[in-house]
Amino acid sequence: MNGTIQEAADTRRQAGTDLSFERLYEMYRGRVFSTACRMLSNRADAEDVTQDVFVKVFKKLKSFRGESAVSTWIYRIAVNACLDFRRRRRLRQAISLDEGIEVGSTPLSVTRLIESTLPRMAEGYRRVFVLHDIQGLKHEEIAKVLGITDGASKSQLHRARAFLRRELAPYLGDRHWVRGE
Amino acid sequence: MDQHCSEEVLSAYLDGDLESEAAGTAAEHIAECPVCRQALAQVRAIRDAAPAMEQFVPPERVWGAIRERLRSSHKRSINLARLFWVGVPALAAALLVVTLAGWLGQPAQDTVGAVVRVGRAPASGTASVSPEPDETEVADEAVREYREYVRGIDRAIDECRIALAENPGNARVLAVYSGASIDRQRAMDRFASEGQ
């Protein structure tokens, strides 16, 4: 699924039926849920947000004008839902990282290391890293999703990687070497 | 370039985001600097590993919960629509009752009284006085108004019944229904007592 305008048109045409929504859910549930898991660092919260996202998608689907790709539109709803959730949650309690997501079973794989480090990354960097490096969005798409400039997206991505590299340096090659600034 | 490349420069270099001059300078330095070469390799390892990170799939219960929320939301919107299409006419009918009641309030009693008086008039022998306008015409008009008044109440009551069948808990319609029923009973009682 490449999120083209044609795809958007197809989705809109089918929007009136429950089936098309179900199809949309099947196509995007992984992306939305994974993004929510990594942004919220909590699987149960990610389930709630995924519900919110798709309920919103369903309600707004008929008014979707296809001006942006469906994927960009859904990611925007997902990211905003995550931010809203965190905002509400912050009022109640700090996020418990102990309830975090289950990561892959490969011990000390780079992906596992990244997964375990993500919750400690600043929210702004994390959003861009998740969307760009993990979910594969382009900077122009991220700019639309987050309402920032392409340059800001690139800058945050580079800082996110810098943070990860610093954190993971002991496990990447020379275990005792962390590069100084 | 004497200093090491910054973390951001390494990442930007990797993505080809540097201007050509800056990219050239960074490339020269990285080629000569083992520290930056290693750092670049680490950034590359992170960047290349990220797309392979697991795509989590939400459990089945999430889809079930979404469907349930959409279903209840749909029901709510239907109820709101019903409330509009049934509640608005009911309220309109209630307003009609109120308006009619206001219009016929005190005069209505007089009118009903006039019917009674007219009904008694022949018996008391006052009919010969023949006041203007003709008492029979006044009586007919009064009966017509009375019937119209009661019909207005009946219409309101019917609308309320329909609305309550759709939504028995609608407090506003219940109040109107109750008020209209009382008004009707009072009108009937008054007419019956005055007419005897």
Residues of A in contact with B55 (CB under 8 A): 30-31, 34
A116 vs B194 pLDDT, higher one? A116
At B49-73, the pLDDT tens digits run 999 998 999 999 999 999 998 888 7
d(CA B175, CA B181): 10
**Domain end point (choices A72, A102, A132):** A102
Joined tokens for residue A51: 């519900």
Looking at the structure, tell me whether residues A93 and A119 fall in a common domain: no
User: pLDDT tier at B1 (50, 70, 90 boundaries)?
Assistant: low
Helix (H) or strand (E) holding B194: helix B171-195
d(CA A19, CA B77): 21
User: pLDDT tier at B132 (50, 70, 90 boundaries)?
Assistant: very low
Cβ(B7)–Cβ(B39) below 8 Å: yes
Averaged pLDDT score across all residues of chain B: 74
pLDDT computed for residue A126 by the predictor: 95
**Domain end point (choices A84, A102, A120):** A102
Q: Is the pLDDT of residue A61 over 90?
A: no
Residue B87 amino acid letter: G
Looking at the structure, tell me whether residues A57 and A82 fall in a common domain: yes
B176 vs A34 pLDDT, higher one? A34
Looking at the structure, tell me whether residues A118 and A141 fall in a common domain: yes
Cβ(B104)–Cβ(B145) below 8 Å: yes
- Interface contact B37, partner A, CB < 8 A: no
pLDDT computed for residue A22 by the predictor: 85
Residue of A nearest to B60 (CA): A47
CATH number of the domain that residue A83 is part of: 1.10.1740.10
pLDDT computed for residue A62 by the predictor: 79
pLDDT computed for residue B82 by the predictor: 62
Q: Is the pLDDT of residue B29 over 60?
A: yes
d(CA A81, CA A47): 12
Looking at the structure, tell me whether residues A133 and A166 fall in a common domain: yes
Could you give the number of structural domains in chain A?
2
From chain A residues 49-68, the ones with a CB under 8 A of any chain B CB are 50-51, 54-55, 58-59
> What percent of chain A lies above the pLDDT cut of 70?
74
Looking at the structure, tell me whether residues A93 and A55 fall in a common domain: yes
Looking at the structure, tell me whether residues A84 and A134 fall in a common domain: no
**Domain end point (choices A46, A76, A102):** A102
Provide φ and ψ at B84, rounded to 5°: -65, -50
Cβ(A85)–Cβ(A40) below 8 Å: yes
pLDDT computed for residue A48 by the predictor: 95
- Interface contact B42, partner A, CB < 8 A: yes
- Interface contact B71, partner A, CB < 8 A: no
Cβ(A168)–Cβ(B42) below 8 Å: yes
Looking at the structure, tell me whether residues A59 and A8 fall in a common domain: yes
Q: Is the pLDDT of residue B91 over 90?
A: no
Residue A130 amino acid letter: V
Q: Which of A94, A92, A82, A158 is closest to A123 using CA atoms?
A: A82
Host domain of residue A12: 1-102
Return the top range by mean pLDDT from A49-53, A98-102, A110-114: A49-53
Choose the weakest-confidence range: A95-104, B52-61, B89-98, B110-119. B110-119
Q: Which residues contact A36 (CB under 8 A, 6 or more apart)?
A: A45, A46, A49, A50, A53, A78, A81, A82
CATH number of the domain that residue A128 is part of: 1.10.10.10
